[in-house]
Structure 1
Amino acid sequence: MTDPIRWGVLGASDFARRSMAPAIHAASGHVLAALATRDAAKAAPFADLAPGLRVHESYDALLADPGIDAVYVPLPHTMHVEWGVKALEAGKHVLVEKPLAMTEAGIAPLIAARDATGLQAAEAYMIVHHPQWQFVRELIDDGVPGQLRHVEGVFTYNNSADPGNIRNTAAMGGGALPDIGVYTYGSTRWATRAEPEAITHADLDWEAGCDVVARVSARFPGFTAHWVNSMRMLPEQFMLFHGDAGIIRVTAPFNAAKFGEAVVEWRGRDFVTHRRTWPGLNQYVHQVEAFGAAIRGEAAFPWTLEDAAGTQRVIDMAYAAAGGRPPA
């Protein structure tokens, strides 16, 4: 019998409490073993979920815990690489929340630490673990859209009523593109296996140094893309892949089961719409189990640090095309 992979979480973030800690607890062959936080009130829901959970008062103490095999890092964006590297140097595999860094160059130390230690290190880019995205990739590989001509992507929400949120704080890596541009940009790259040649349009609205609305267009080899990401618009999300022979639409591409049911629709020249659904799947559980398979040498993790760096490169290109980010 294979021993379970024992996880520690750095910081009692809301997202860790609501999504990733329950996913680790639910994943087959995984145990939520420790949490690092000084706040007993924040630790309580984690302890309720996983009785026997060890609570450390510092991140360093958790990294020194010999009963931890893998570490999940849900800290503010600007702290991801620092603590990802520290986890690797402490002998722990590490799954780091997105975005890994604020620039492509900022990811390099994490890649170097992964290579030096031989441990698993990855970005927690959960959507590639959902079968709906694997199916979309297969449809494109099989030529269902024909010659792909255009990709349209939208991911928006409105957190204007929460100015203290780190997503609204420039010094902590806030902004729509770091938070959700990674999904529209990264899913386009992953599904099409293509990289943009240029950003052809970048129109960004700024508040307190954070991009709160981003309308960005890009040219890829053979097709164009247009993405809208916002922290000041009614929640919406979809992805559309439009070719000369067919269309593929993903209606809940990023928060499947929360925003809506995981559905992929596609049609060709006969105008017959086909539909496939995946009810009840948890992409975060799939992500944890895929990371475990990579640790055990059973399968390659489908989203590498280099994949994450590629998406960050596109975000860097979008900021550059918009004239750069204002000072934090």
Structure 2
Amino acid sequence: MATVRWGVLGATSHIAGRVLPAVARVPGCVVAAVAARTGRVEAATEVARRFGARVHDGYEALLADPGVDAVYVALPNSGHVPWTLRALGAGKHVLVEKPMAMSEEDCARIGRAAAGLVVMEAYMYRFHPQQARAAALLASGEIGELRVVRAAFAHPTPVEGNIRFDPALGGGATWDVGCYAFDVPLWAFGAEPRRVWARFHGDVVDLGAVAALDFGDGRSAVLDYGLEYGPRAWYEFQGTRGSVSVRNAWTTPHEDGVITVVTLDGAREEVVPAADAYELQVAAFVEAIRTGEEPLVPLAHSARTARVGRALVEANAAGGWVELPRP
């Protein structure tokens, strides 16, 4: 495939300002089509004009477009599973905003529908060079054996008209910023926890939470996340000999990453040059299409994240620890 032609479902300001420019900068990629909800093409028309793309009145029309190879699903959380399935059914590769799904069963449905197509959950921070550096430091053994992961992800969010606060659309902090918080310990430990505990606050949806994940053998994660405070996008690995902390996991394309390493031998800061995580994510996704290799965020990881998110919801409702099934 010489050129990957992209279509986007959901022309939000964030997608128009961050994601689509990144797509357009990746060699061999073009923004070919933009779709809005049926009867609401005005916003999509303006976005499409910036990229010389076609406009479709309705998502189904975009999926029927033979000039689209890959689809970015940027809809409310409740639309991720149905429209990912429809896009795969139309023969399109799919990059879908997190959470890909809010249950393990839906991840399995997506896996069965993929049938040789590439589908990936869009955890853009995982593609930034500072993320690779933090992972390399952890793997090097410099801080000893990993014991505790701490992660905090939050930003104050306007309520009026915001889909994040609509329970019918899968709103709430856990399936928004919380996904990032509990994604960190899952890849850092390379496993899912044995049990989880969580306390949410908020009436209509969860506005924030504190949570703990028990991985067994003295390994734990401590999290906080929310839509009422911030900005905060920090994580830390605490080992038996020291720690690695990432100041801002959501760096902008023009912001250097800063990693602090503290060991028994002293402390230092490492600066990771600025990079566009969205652009790197698109490039990696396209490479997976061209090579057939498993993407950095495979479906198995997405299913694991969905299991943990669901367990946190259950733990809050139960008022105590919730055990996860052992493999």
Tell me, yes or no, whether TM beats 0.5: yes
Could you tell me which residue of structure 2 aligns to residue 257 of structure 1?
A: 252
Matching residue of 2:132: 134
Q: After TM superposition, give the deviation of residue 316 of structure 1 in Å.
A: 1.1
Contact between 1:151 and 1:225, CA under 8 Å: does it hold in 2?
yes
1:178 aligned counterpart, secondary structure: coil
1:66 alignment partner in structure 2: 66
How far has the Cα of 1:260 moved from its partner?
Answer: 5.4
Structure 2 partner of 1:196: 193
- In structure 2, the partner of 1:219 is 214
CA contact 2:102–2:309 (8 Å) conserved in 1: no
Match of 1:166 among 163, 166, 178: 163
Query: Deviation string for 1:55-76 (max 9, x for gaps)?
Result: 1112111111111111111011
Confirm or deny: 8 A CA contact 1:252 1:260 kept in the other structure: no
Structure 1 counterpart of 2:242: 246
Matches of 1:259 and 1:179, distance apart in 2:
24
For 1:278-328, what per-residue CA distance to the aligned partner results, in whole angstroms no more than 9, with x for missing partners?
22x100000111010000016431001221111111111111111169xxx
User: 1:144 offset after TM fit, Å?
Assistant: 1.9
2:271 equivalent to 1:276:
yes
Listed one character per residue, the Cα deviations across residues 26-81 of structure 1 (whole Å, up to 9, x for unaligned) are 11210000011243431244233212x11111211111111111111101111111
Contact 2:151 2:184 in 1 (8 A): no
Inter-partner Cα distance in structure 1 for 2:48 and 2:32: 9
More moved, 126-135 vs 292-301: 292-301
CA shift for structure 1 position 263: 1.6
Q: TM-score, normalised by structure 2?
A: 0.91
Partner of 1:150: 148
Residues of 2 paired with 1:134 and 1:274: CA distance? 16
Aligned 8 A contact 2:41 2:57 in 1: no
Q: Give the paired residue count.
A: 316
Aligned residue for 2:214, secondary structure, equals strand
Moved more, 98-107 or 72-81: 98-107
- Structure 1 residue 206 and structure 2 residue 202: aligned? yes
Which of residues 301, 305, 311 in structure 1 aligns to 2:299?
Answer: 305
Q: Secondary structure at the match of 1:132?
A: helix
RMSD (Å) for aligned C-alpha atoms: 1.8
Counterpart-to-counterpart distance in 2, 1:189 and 1:55: 39
Q: Tell me which amino acid in the other structure corresponds to 1:59.
A: Y
Match of 1:120 in 2: 118
TM-score normalised to structure 1 length: 0.91
The alpha carbon displacement at 1:7 in A equals 0.5
Q: Flag structure 2 segments of 5+ consecutive residues without an equivalent.
A: 320-327
Which letter maps to 2:304?
G
